[in-house]
Amino acid sequence: MTLQKVLFREALNQAMCEEMERDANVFLMGEEVGEYDGPYKVSQGMLARFGPKRVVDTPISENAFCGLGIGAAMTGLRPIVEFMSLNFSLVAFDQIVSNAAKTLYMSGGQFPVPMVMRGPGGAAAQVAAQHSNCVESYFAQVPGLKVVMPSTPYDAKGLLKTAIRDDNPVIFIENELLYGVSQEIPAEEYLIPLGQAHVRVEGSDVTLIAYSRMAHLLESGVLPELRKEGIRAELVDPRTIKPLDLEGLARSVRKTHRAVIVEEGHRFCGVGAEIADRLYSACFDDLDAPLVRVTQQENPLPYSKPLETASLPQVADVVQAVKQVLYRL
């Protein structure tokens, strides 16, 4: 196996280019994806490589170009619809929920909608309330949609390739602050199945469940702090919110008998609430302490840096939660 060191954004670019080379029905559309090489340079070089019929710059109208992508998917193409921010997917919410998610069912199986809707989501660095929504829980609640949230370049490439080949609409959420993260990944082609969690760090004392940027926060910030106190935590990254690898998560909880679920989104009706509910059903007799959730505070995310920091999960919050489930407070 040959390894190459790539950035998160480059891994996404590779995934799209490989799939567009493999399948002439795959194309990319969105705001500034062509002439500008993408607002985050994820599509850099793709216009020159594939031309304007397969890398399509769109007007600033998410509702319109998302609907165009749905129609294209219904007629046999495989669009990748890039939102400059998944916050702006809310403008196309009716298209995604009423059409992309439900057309296969409402057509009696006649019209699959094989499309990927991707872009950055969640909090970035002081982009304020209207650009900081964690939308994964919105879309995961809708039957017919799959929701993917990679945390590493390796996962980003393998999961995006799988999502492009999937015959269902997939919401593929990247975190803006991860685009510059680098990692060695195989130069050879590989795929990662949807619905397969990954144990990023082995441990025995407590299971930490986190995805996207929160998985980085835990691995780089929380785990070193816990090791100083002799706590060996296991970090599990679900990678896909829907389908959810319940058995993979439960296997870790049965091993450690304790769990802390960390998410960047809000507590009420959050992804962590769903994970906790399922783990209680699957692992109740294995638990030595109640599950604990760490989430964003229940307010729109402020622009102010100190208030933004206070609103989002931090290392100290997770460390305290771990001590709570270990009865060390």
Number of folded domains that form the chain: 2
Q: What is the pLDDT of residue 82?
A: 98
In a domain, 193, yes or no: no
Do residues 129 and 165 share a domain? yes
Which of the listed residues 144, 162, 186 is the one where a domain comes to its end?
Answer: 186
Instruction: Quote the longest CA-to-CA distance of the chain.
Output: 60
In a domain, 192, yes or no: no
| Backbone φ/ψ region at 42: left (φ over 0), alpha (ψ -120 to 50), beta | alpha
In a domain, 166, yes or no: yes
Pairwise CA distance, residues 295 & 293, whole Å: 6
Name the helix (H) or strand (E) containing 233. strand 233-237
CB atoms within 10 A of CB 96: 28
Mean pLDDT confidence for 170-190: 96
Cβ atoms of 222 and 313 closer than 8 Å? no
Pairwise CA distance, residues 198 & 33, whole Å: 31
Pairwise CA distance, residues 79 & 33, whole Å: 13
Do residues 177 and 119 share a domain? yes
Do residues 159 and 287 share a domain? no
Name the helix (H) or strand (E) containing 210. strand 206-210
pLDDT category of residue 70 using cuts at 50, 70 and 90: very high
Do residues 23 and 165 share a domain? yes
Burial (CB < 10 A; 0-12, 13-18, 19+), residue 53, is exposed
Pairwise CA distance, residues 268 & 266, whole Å: 6
Do residues 13 and 81 share a domain? yes
Which of the listed residues 186, 209, 230 is the one where a domain comes to its end?
Answer: 186
In a domain, 121, yes or no: yes
Do residues 119 and 165 share a domain? yes
Pairwise CA distance, residues 36 & 40, whole Å: 9
Q: What is the pLDDT of residues 261-318, one digit of tens each?
A: 999 999 999 999 999 999 999 999 999 999 999 999 999 999 999 999 999 999 999 9
73: pLDDT strictly greater than 90 = yes
- Mean pLDDT score of the chain, rounded to an integer? 96
In a domain, 239, yes or no: yes
In a domain, 191, yes or no: no
Q: What is the pLDDT of residues 210-269, one digit of tens each?
A: 999 999 999 999 999 999 999 999 999 999 999 999 999 999 999 999 999 999 999 999
Q: What is the pLDDT of residues 27-64, one digit of tens each?
A: 999 999 999 999 999 999 999 999 999 999 999 999 99
Helix axes 246-256, 271-283, angle to 10 degrees: 60
Domain that holds residue 173: 3-186
Do residues 26 and 128 share a domain? yes
Helices (H), ranges, the chain? 8-22, 46-50, 62-74, 93-94, 103-106, 136-140, 153-165, 213-217, 223-228, 246-256, 271-283, 305-311, 315-325
CB atoms within 10 A of CB 107: 12
Do residues 170 and 204 share a domain? no
Q: Which two tokens stand for residue 108?
A: 């009696």
Which residues, including other chains, have CB under 8 Å from residue 220's CB and lie 6 or more apart? none
Do residues 263 and 141 share a domain? no
Strand 146-148 and strand 240-242: the pairing is antiparallel
Single-letter code of the amino acid located at 266: H
Mean pLDDT confidence for 126-130: 85
In a domain, 284, yes or no: yes
What's the start-to-end Cα distance of the chain, in Å? 47
In a domain, 244, yes or no: yes
As annotated, the active-site residues are 62, 131
CATH number at residue 208: 3.40.50.920
Q: What is the pLDDT of residue 134?
A: 93
Do residues 30 and 148 share a domain? yes
Do residues 162 and 235 share a domain? no
Q: What is the pLDDT of residue 127?
A: 85
Q: What is the pLDDT of residue 44?
A: 97
Pairwise CA distance, residues 325 & 293, whole Å: 11
Q: What is the pLDDT of residues 74-120, one digit of tens each?
A: 999 999 999 999 999 999 999 999 999 999 999 999 999 999 999 99
CATH number at residue 121: 3.40.50.970
Do residues 17 and 115 share a domain? yes
Q: What share of the chain is helix, strand, coil (3-state, %, to 5)?
A: 40, 20, 40
Which of the listed residues 157, 186, 215 is the one where a domain comes to its end?
Answer: 186
Which residues, including other chains, have CB under 8 Å from residue 61's CB and lie 6 or more apart? none
Q: What is the pLDDT of residue 315?
A: 97
